[in-house]
Amino acid sequence: MDKGDTSLRKATKYWNILATSLSNRLNGRTRCKKVGRQGMLIEHEDEAMVTELLNMQKDGLFINIQQLKMKVAKFTQTRPTPFQNGVPRNS
């Protein structure tokens, strides 16, 4: 959401959050800049995986969730992860 797109009041009603929370976020007055847990892939791993998946899509190949988890395991096999047996469990 850009500052000029919609009013603060409408946005707070739409997302059901406090106006001060949204105002602080828009003005950079927050304790942490990122929301959610940290990803398991390093930036270059993430980029390589996206490239590989896009190439598969261009070639007309499909991938299911188990195959995707195995690809993540392939990219993270050289370092410790919280995954069970190196493979993510939940999507």
pLDDT at 14: 86
Mean pLDDT by 10 residues, the chain (91 residues): 68 86 81 69 86 90 88 84 80 53
The number of distinct structural domains making up the chain is 2
pLDDT at 62: 87
Residue 87 sits in the same domain as residue 43:
yes
Residue 80 sits in the same domain as residue 51:
yes
Please state the three-class secondary structure of the chain as a single string: CCCCCCCHHHHHHHHCCCHHHHHHHHCCCCCCCCCCCCCCCCHHHHHHHHHHHHHHHHCCCCCCHHHHHHHHHHHHCCCCCCCECCECCCC
Domain membership of residue 27 as a residue range: 1-36
Residue 52 sits in the same domain as residue 87:
yes
